[in-house]
């Protein structure tokens, strides 16, 4: 075991520090490096008949992935992830601001309320949205009863339903980092801005907003990244017309039985994410 | 100080304020003159910071007005008041450079940029930080941040500068330096300072006048000399300089003098200050005697003109620059020890315990304070 570890750690003798790092290292090795490595390896393999994997290596899966027919999927995925992130930011910033500065003693209750969709299974949440958005759902019934509509509108299986589902599910991912970073802005610094003659809006744009920027970026990253790989939302609320990269990948594994191609798509997504996170870290350090 | 002179710059009062059901200010009235260094002094929770925050406009009083240069600004928001604050923990803008921090207020006031470029180095040189314009806030030491906060507050040339325990986070040596520097700066600018502190020595060093706060009230306002030499209440006497506080009964006596029975044992006859009034005969008052004004004699020599107490020496504590002597002065209340300060020559002080000594004070060193209704 020790020897294996020392080999993995680059031939150095396992000093005490290595032993202390061992649990974390093993965790990373077994749950990250081995599966991800296997995935990357698989992405270069060939697919045989009936989904068999042929261990002959080549770039054919990547060539296929960058075929123009998948371009709309990538574009759509980026658009939905970007749109969701933007909407979450627009909705989430005022919410986080309210929680931090105005909510007072209701703050903790509201934070728990915000976390509820996060804790409940998203399947439950999305099926509930189906009940709300369906042709005979709550929204249509209410609008018809109120006289705004004469016939039901198909809210479901539209980009609107997908965005709604994504925003609904990912909003806490945006709000919590924003809240954490607004919370860290010292009240006295905002008061100093008032003291020096800044009105509410000026103080916000000159002081509060710039000081909460790390939270804005963290919230966007934490929303955008999981959105890129999301497939359940589209599966349940979006229907097949709008399938995203996540659906394309899940189809390769679950339906098309083309694991190497699925792995190639996943590797591309992974490479994009790692590159993005690397840029984010560089920005954070700067 | 209810007299409002013509050069009154800031008049507040009578301020009342409660947080929830807890009253924090009760009828606080204050007048600050042009170019005056006014210190609000008191222990934590006494209402001095709340008073400052009401003047700055961060809190609204429940009752009472704030008048600045003759204009009622009670309902004017903080950003429209011509006062600037130096905050306790500096509250600098961490995302802006030193120069941009200092220019912030002037930009808000729409001062032309070329004038800002002239006034930023001027403000920095006043706080002895010339050449720091481009520095980041994070790269400054605590003392430097303090100076930048000061420069930022004075650069906009406010009518009054408010300082909320600005030296609290600095170490002792730096604090002493900054005290003198602040005082010099204030004199040079001719700017009214309202300075909040709990440090009585700091207040004595810098202030033109001190307002002593206790439990949401102002106990006394006066020059450092008045506060020290003529304390009006036992709180003021004890908080500033420390004092032995005793209870005394007023006996009938001559006009201009107080005839007192101290702790039912000693009869004293002390002069009253002009304007000082004494409760009617039979009432009880508190009196204070400063430890450094108590003289201790080890031989039975009757000092002429002094009030004599037959005491027992209970303990002596050597403090380096002084000796603290604990004295049992009263036979009826032996647990009530008095403290005397003697000079730093430890060999002049006896180490013996439980020996009879004579404690003596000048009659004018007995301060008559508030009524003792307890």
As a whole number of angstroms, the distance between CA B218 and CA B46 comes to 9
Task: Write the residue in A195, A199, A211 that is nearest to B56 by C-beta.
Answer: A195
Joined tokens for residue B158? 């406010």
Q: Show which of residues 58-87 on chain B sit within 8 Å of chain A, judged by CB atoms.
A: 58, 77-80, 83-85, 87
Are residue A13 and residue A103 in the same domain, yes or no? no
CATH code of the domain covering residue B76: 3.40.50.300
Distance from CA of A196 to the nearest CA of B (A): 4
Task: Write the residue in B84, B92, B109 that is nearest to A195 by C-beta.
Answer: B84
In this prediction, what percent of chain B has a pLDDT beyond 70?
95
Are residue B253 and residue B304 in the same domain, yes or no? yes
Tell me which of A195-199, B71-75, B175-179, B263-267 is least confident. B263-267
CATH code of the domain covering residue B352: 2.40.50.100
**Does the structure show a pLDDT above 80 at B6?**
no
Average pLDDT over residues B176-186: 91
- B171 — pLDDT class (breaks 50, 70, 90): confident
The rounded Cα A170 to chain-centroid distance in angstroms is: 7
- Domain stops at, among B173, B208, B236: B236
- From A194, which residue of chain B is nearest by alpha-carbon distance? B79
Contact B104 A196 (CB under 8 A): yes
- B346 — pLDDT class (breaks 50, 70, 90): low
Are residue A15 and residue A75 in the same domain, yes or no? no
> Which residues, including other chains, have CB under 8 Å from residue B133's CB and lie 6 or more apart?
B97, B98, B99, B120, B121, B124
A191 touching B, CB under 8 A? Answer: yes
Are residue B221 and residue B270 in the same domain, yes or no? no
Domain-located, residue B72: yes
Cβ proximity of B313 and B276 under 8 Å? no
B156 touching A, CB under 8 A? Answer: yes
Task: Write the residue in B57, B77, B156 that is nearest to A196 by C-beta.
Answer: B156
Task: Write the residue in A188, A197, A210 that is nearest to B91 by C-beta.
Answer: A188
Domain-located, residue A231: yes
Cβ proximity of A242 and A112 under 8 Å? no
As a whole number of angstroms, the distance between CA B272 and CA B176 comes to 36
Residue A250 belongs to domain spanning: 59-285
Residue by residue, what is the 3-state secondary structure of B143-161? HHHHHHHHHHHHHCCCCEE
Are residue B263 and residue B231 in the same domain, yes or no? no
pLDDT at B2: 42
Q: Which of B55, B83, B91 to mutate to test binding with chain A, by most A CBs within 10 Å of its CB?
A: B91
Residue B344 belongs to domain spanning: 243-371
Task: Write the residue in A189, A196, A210 that is nearest to B108 by C-beta.
Answer: A196
- Domain stops at, among B236, B255, B270: B236
A283 touching B, CB under 8 A? Answer: no
Average pLDDT over residues A19-47: 90
Are residue B227 and residue B256 in the same domain, yes or no? no
Q: Provide the domain count of chain B.
A: 2
Are residue B226 and residue B309 in the same domain, yes or no? no
B276-321 pLDDT, tens digit per residue, is 788 888 889 999 999 989 888 887 776 788 888 888 888 888 887 7
pLDDT at B4: 47
Domain-located, residue B231: yes
A202 touching B, CB under 8 A? Answer: yes
A169-203 pLDDT, tens digit per residue, is 999 999 999 999 999 999 999 999 999 999 999 99
Contact A194 B78 (CB under 8 A): yes
Are residue A170 and residue A122 in the same domain, yes or no? yes
Are residue B77 and residue B173 in the same domain, yes or no? yes
Domain-located, residue B319: yes
Joined tokens for residue B345? 């020559």
Domain-located, residue A170: yes
Domain-located, residue B138: yes
| Chain A residues in contact with B78 (beta carbon < 8 A) | 191, 194-195
Are residue B122 and residue B159 in the same domain, yes or no? yes
A63-73 pLDDT, tens digit per residue, is 999 999 999 99
As a whole number of angstroms, the distance between CA A157 and CA A141 comes to 18
Are residue A175 and residue A36 in the same domain, yes or no? no
Interface predicted TM-score (ipTM) of this complex, two decimals: 0.82
Domain-located, residue B59: yes
Tell me which of A6-15, B175-184, B326-335, B353-362 is least confident. A6-15
Domain-located, residue A110: yes
**Averaged pLDDT score across all residues of chain B:** 89
Are residue B218 and residue B305 in the same domain, yes or no? no
Residue B127, phi then psi, degrees to nearest 5? -100, 15
B344 touching A, CB under 8 A? Answer: no
Are residue A13 and residue A137 in the same domain, yes or no? no
Domain-located, residue B3: no
Are residue B102 and residue B14 in the same domain, yes or no? yes
Largest CA distance in chain A: 77
pLDDT at B1: 40
Are residue A126 and residue A179 in the same domain, yes or no? yes
- Domain stops at, among B170, B202, B236: B236
Distance from CA of A215 to the nearest CA of B (A): 14
Distance from CA of A274 to the nearest CA of B (A): 28
- From A212, which residue of chain B is nearest by alpha-carbon distance? B95
Q: Provide the domain count of chain A.
A: 2
A128-171 pLDDT, tens digit per residue, is 888 888 888 888 888 888 888 888 888 888 889 999 999 999 99
| Residue B23, H or E segment | strand B22-33
B40-90 pLDDT, tens digit per residue, is 999 998 999 999 999 999 999 999 999 999 899 999 999 999 999 999 889
Are residue A148 and residue A182 in the same domain, yes or no? yes
Average pLDDT over residues B228-247: 90
In this prediction, what percent of chain A has a pLDDT beyond 90?
51
- A282 — pLDDT class (breaks 50, 70, 90): confident
Domain-located, residue B1: no
Domain-located, residue B2: no
Distance from CA of A114 to the nearest CA of B (A): 29
Tell me which of A190-199, A254-263, B4-13, B347-356 is least confident. B347-356
B234 touching A, CB under 8 A? Answer: no
pTM over 0.95: no
| Chain A residues in contact with B152 (beta carbon < 8 A) | 192, 196
Are residue A146 and residue A277 in the same domain, yes or no? yes
State the residue for tokens 């000092």: B303
Domain-located, residue A184: yes
């Amino acid at each position: 075991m020790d020897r294996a570890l020392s080999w993995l750690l680059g031939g150095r003798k396992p000093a005490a520090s290595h032993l202390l790092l061992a649990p974390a290292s093993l965790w990373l090795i077994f749950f990250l490096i081995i599966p991800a490595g296997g995935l990357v390896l698989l992405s270069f393999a060939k697919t045989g008949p009936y989904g068999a994997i042929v261990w002959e290596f080549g770039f054919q899966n990547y060539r296929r992935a960058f075929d123009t027919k998948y371009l709309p999927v990538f574009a759509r995925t980026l658009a939905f992830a970007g749109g969701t992130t933007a909407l979450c930011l627009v909705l989430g910033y005022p919410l986080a601001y309210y929680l931090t500065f105005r909510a007072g003693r209701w703050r903790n209750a509201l934070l728990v309320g915000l976390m509820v969709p996060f804790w409940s299974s998203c399947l439950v949440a999305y099926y509930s949205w189906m009940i709300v958005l369906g042709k005979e759902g709550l929204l249509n019934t209410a609008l018809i009863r109120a006289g705004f509509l004469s016939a039901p509108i198909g809210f479901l299986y539209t980009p609107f339903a997908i965005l709604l589902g994504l925003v609904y599910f990912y909003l806490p991912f945006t709000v919590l980092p924003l809240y954490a970073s607004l919370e860290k802005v010292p009240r006295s610094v905002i008061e100093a801005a008032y003291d020096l003659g800044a009105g509410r809006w000026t103080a916000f744009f000159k002081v509060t907003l710039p000081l909460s920027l790390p939270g804005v970026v963290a919230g966007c990253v934490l929303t955008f990244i999981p959105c890129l790989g999301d497939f359940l939302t589209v599966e349940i609320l979006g229907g097949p017309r709008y399938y995203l990269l996540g659906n394309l990948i899940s189809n390769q594994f679950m339906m098309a039985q083309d694991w190497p191609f699925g792995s190639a798509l996943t590797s591309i997504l992974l490479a994009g994410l790692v590159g993005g996170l690397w840029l984010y870290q560089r920005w954070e350090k700067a | 100080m209810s007299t409002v002179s013509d050069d009154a710059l800031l008049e507040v009062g009578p301020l009342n304020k409660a947080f929830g059901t807890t009253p924090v200010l009760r009828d606080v009235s204050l007048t600050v003159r042009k170019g005056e260094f006014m210190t609000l002094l008191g222990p934590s929770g006494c209402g001095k910071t709340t008073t400052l925050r009401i003047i700055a406009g961060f809190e609204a009083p429940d009752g009472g007005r704030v008048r600045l240069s003759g204009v009622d600004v009670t309902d004017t928001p903080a950003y429209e008041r011509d006062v600037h604050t130096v905050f306790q923990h500096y509250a600098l803008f961490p995302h802006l450079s030193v120069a941009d921090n200092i220019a912030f207020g002037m930009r808000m006031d729409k001062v032309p940029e070329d004038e800002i470029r002239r006034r930023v180095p001027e403000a920095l040189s006043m706080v002895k930080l010339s050449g720091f314009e481009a520095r980041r806030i994070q790269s400054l030491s605590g003392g430097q941040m303090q100076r930048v906060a000061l420069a930022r507050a004075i650069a906009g040339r406010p009518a009054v500068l408010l300082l909320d325990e600005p030296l609290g986070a600095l170490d002792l040596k730096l604090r002493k330096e900054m005290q003198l520097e602040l005082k010099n700066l204030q004199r040079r600018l001719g700017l009214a300072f309202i300075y909040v502190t709990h440090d009585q020595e700091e207040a004595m060093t810098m202030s033109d006048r001190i307002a002593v706060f206790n439990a949401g009230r102002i106990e006394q306002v006066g020059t450092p000399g008045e506060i020290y030499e003529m304390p009006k209440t036992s709180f003021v006497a004890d908080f500033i300089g420390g004092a032995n506080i005793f209870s005394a009964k007023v006996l009938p006596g001559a006009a201009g003098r107080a005839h007192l029975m101290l702790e039912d044992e000693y009869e004293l006859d002390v002069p009253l200050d002009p304007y000082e009034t004494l409760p009617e005969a039979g009432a009880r008052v508190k009196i204070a005697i400063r430890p450094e004004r108590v003289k201790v004699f080890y031989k039975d020599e009757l000092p002429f003109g002094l009030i004599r107490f037959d005491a027992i020496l209970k303990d002596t504590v050597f403090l380096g620059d002084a000796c603290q002597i604990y004295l049992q002065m009263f036979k009826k209340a032996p647990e009530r020890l008095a403290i005397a300060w003697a000079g730093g020559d430890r060999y002049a002080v006896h180490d013996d315990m439980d020996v009879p000594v004579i404690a003596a004070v000048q009659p004018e060193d007995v301060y008559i304070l508030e009524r003792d209704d307890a």
